[in-house]
Amino acid sequence: MKKASKVIVSCAITGSIHTPSMSPHLPVTADQIASQAIEAAKAGAAILHLHARDEETGRPTQDPEAFKRFLPQIKSGTDAIVNITTGGGLGMTMDQRLAAAKWAQPEIASMNMGSFNFNISGAAGRIQNFQNDWEQPYLEMTKDFILSNTFSQIERAMTELGALGTRFEFECYDVGHLYNLAHFADRGIVKPPFFVQSIFGILGGIGPDPENLMAMRATADRLFGEDYYLSILAAGRHQMPFTTLGAIVGGHVRVGLEDNLFLSKGELAPSNAALVAKIRRILSELSLEAATPDEVRAMLQTKGAANTAF
């Protein structure tokens, strides 16, 4: 693992896991997404991980037209690195999942590194009143859902987006996903440095136990040596403890309302910026400094904001 002198702070703004009924603070409209993204950058996020939503229903969408309504605002309001999802919403086709990133040609796009059971159905039981008719079946169907990321799908996404100069946030939900990344690295389809986002606490993926973080880091060290940066995210209540642990052992951090809706026990986060500000305070107490967007560009060797299509 590369030993960076500063910590990369990423913020995932809205995502496709949570629904509008779960929190009134989840950004849905283009203006809300843009505003929260800009405020998160001001709070110290160097990378903004972005999904889009239908403005009427809040349902996840990968329609480039939805991204066109907020990406220019974000670019003009901050110098943070834009990271577009290729995971999209649950159940989307690969054509749908890649559409936004292929249009935007961002500096970074997310890249899920393997298929697995992705179960968020438990959230449905905690919601008493759904605002939209799509929300409950969307959550409950994940009891019988496989998040599909086959080798063919991954290679297609890497090849098509790589040709546009986009680099990747490699999302690894289990140890085997690291080996999948090594497979594509060995074939020369992706080049270092690798930005590895290790993900803990999604039912179906690796569990949120500190020993698992150590195992993921040790495995990545064996596979990639000094050719990667390790970032950590964890779902729900595990977000802050796990990102803090990750920073202590030399990793980087991702927070945001995509992954966790709460600022503290029983207290909904009022914004993405509040979550960024909290992890920044923790990093400061640990005498760790957050990297600026341009420092992150140098670390990850991105093409720069001027070379995107939005």
Mean pLDDT of the chain: 97
Number of domains the chain is built from: 1
In which residue are the tokens 């990850």 written? Answer: 300
In which element (H, E) is residue 63 found?
Answer: none
> Would 144 be classed as within a structural domain?
yes
Q: Where are the alpha helices (DSSP H) in the chain?
A: 30-43, 64-68, 71-77, 94-104, 135-140, 151-162, 175-186, 210-224, 239-248, 272-285, 293-300
285-310 residue pLDDT tens: 999 999 999 999 999 999 999 999 99
Q: What CATH number corresponds to the domain at position 188?
A: 3.20.20.70
Residue-by-residue pLDDT tens, the chain, 310 positions: 998 899 999 999 999 999 999 999 999 999 999 999 999 999 999 999 999 999 999 999 999 999 999 999 999 999 999 999 999 999 999 999 999 999 999 999 999 999 999 999 999 999 999 999 999 999 999 999 999 999 999 999 999 999 999 999 999 999 999 999 999 999 999 999 999 999 999 999 999 999 999 999 999 999 999 999 999 999 999 999 999 999 999 999 999 999 999 999 999 999 999 999 999 999 999 999 999 999 999 999 999 999 999 9
pTM beyond 0.85, yes or no: yes
Return the structure tokens found at 164.
Answer: 């546009």
> Would 100 be classed as within a structural domain?
yes
> Would 184 be classed as within a structural domain?
yes
> Would 169 be classed as within a structural domain?
yes
> Would 4 be classed as within a structural domain?
no
142-166 residue pLDDT tens: 999 999 999 999 999 999 999 999 9
Q: Which residues span the domain enclosing 243?
A: 9-307
> Would 2 be classed as within a structural domain?
no
> Would 1 be classed as within a structural domain?
no
Return the structure tokens found at 297.
Answer: 């560009």
